[in-house]
Structure 1
């Protein structure tokens, strides 16, 4: 996929609510990709979509010796591309953060669209202030260098029971997070886009005074199932 094609899909999915994406996956009989139990650092943050750039972290296997094994700053510097979305698995570690404002700022300047982690973040007021969308399990003021090591990059990771592969499409908004398998990005988009258009028409007919049943029938005739 070319850089232009990547950004085309990012823009398309960034225009879709997560609920339309989730409904499309249900309608296509795909395994649900909703990542439940995480929260936006800013309830007013913009919708974001991007290709999963995965990082797997765990508790350090050796005592702190002055060497930072977390390494996700280097991953951001060396591996991220425009249109990526960071997906960091911390395996439920909640007493330290996996990153803060400087990592988020560097990622944003590299064209990364946002961040998703089942761990904690810090400097969340600052991250929100420069408009970097992020979902996390919580916040923690302590940094990761003393406690965490990165054991995998661009590997499959599991967040809140959802298996995420590098290159999957991640969509985040105020409602939640949905992950679309990389091989289904086009198919899910076509279905979700049709659902969004149909719901827009339902709303138009409701405002005209029609019932839900009438509005849905009219919208289905206009847009298709």
Structure 2
């Protein structure tokens, strides 16, 4: 699959399915803890990670000058490419909002796909109005500079206890956000699509009253039944 096809495929499957596929490949720590949807009904997003890194604030750095520094969140927003998913490392701090409605509105204008952080945002209502999908752990009134120092973008970061590198693929839905290593995305996307088709058939069997034994996971007999169904569906 080409890159646009891969992203389209990943946008069509759940993070639950994707974590199962990654688990089978030996990757267990891929779910970014503390990343919950800011608003109900947010669309699922998938895109390359654009990483932001914050450190705990120091008093000599906590000045208004930080907002106009060349290394500022404002400058980072202007470097974000269309379709990226912003992943912000807040060093485990969630009592200051890293972004508010104005920065999120600009991100939306730049066609950023979404924002993911285990930290907090501020201006919750205003952010929701921008339409930017956001996953975070909380909303907090204080500005980021009260607790955090922004130190750069497009570096390896830690978010929710998970390592994220620029260009890794982030997928986020109602169950939170996950990371897929860039080198595995095509393979994972193909397997995830097939798993969702299989599980849709299994669910249909369950709704018809079939017992789980031999069905979930599939026994050889039920595997053959599923394959016959797939041939009939595709042929």
Query: What band does the TM-score fall into relative to the shorter chain?
Result: 0.7 to 0.9
Cα 1:127–1:9, aligned 2, differ >3 Å: closer, same or farther? farther
Cα 1:210–1:146, aligned 2, differ >3 Å: closer, same or farther? closer
Which of the residues 38, 63, 66 maps onto 2:64? 66
Q: Map of 1:9-158 to 2, 5 A cutoff? A: 9-61=6-58, 62-67=60-65, 68=67, 69=69, 71-77=72-78, 79-158=79-158
Q: Map of 1:158-169 to 2, 5 A cutoff? A: 158-169=158-169
1:161-206, Cα deviation, whole Å (9 max, x unpaired): 2101111111111112211011111111111111111011112223
Q: CA deviation at 1:40?
A: 1.5
Residue matched to 2:226 = 219
1:7-63, Cα deviation, whole Å (9 max, x unpaired): 443322111100010011012223430112332111322211111100101133424
Q: CA deviation at 1:76?
A: 1.3
How many residue pairs match? The answer is 219
Aligned-CA RMSD value: 2.2
Residue matched to 1:204 = 204
Cα 1:194–1:188, aligned 2, differ >3 Å: closer, same or farther? same
Q: CA deviation at 1:157?
A: 0.6
Q: Which runs of 4+ in 1 moved over 6 A?
A: none
Structure 1, unmatched stretches of 5+, are none
Which structure is larger by alpha-carbon Rg, 1 or 2? 2
Separation in 2 of the partners of 1:186 and 1:207?
32
Structure 2, unmatched stretches of 5+, are none
Q: CA deviation at 1:146?
A: 4.8
1:125-156, Cα deviation, whole Å (9 max, x unpaired): 22223432111121111222454322121111
Cα 1:147–1:26, aligned 2, differ >3 Å: closer, same or farther? closer
Cα 1:223–1:24, aligned 2, differ >3 Å: closer, same or farther? farther
Q: CA deviation at 1:214?
A: 5.5
Determine if contact 1:115/1:133 at 8 Å carries over to the other structure: yes
Determine if contact 2:83/2:112 at 8 Å carries over to the other structure: yes
Choose 57-66 or 172-181, whichever is displaced more: 57-66
Determine if contact 1:158/1:164 at 8 Å carries over to the other structure: yes
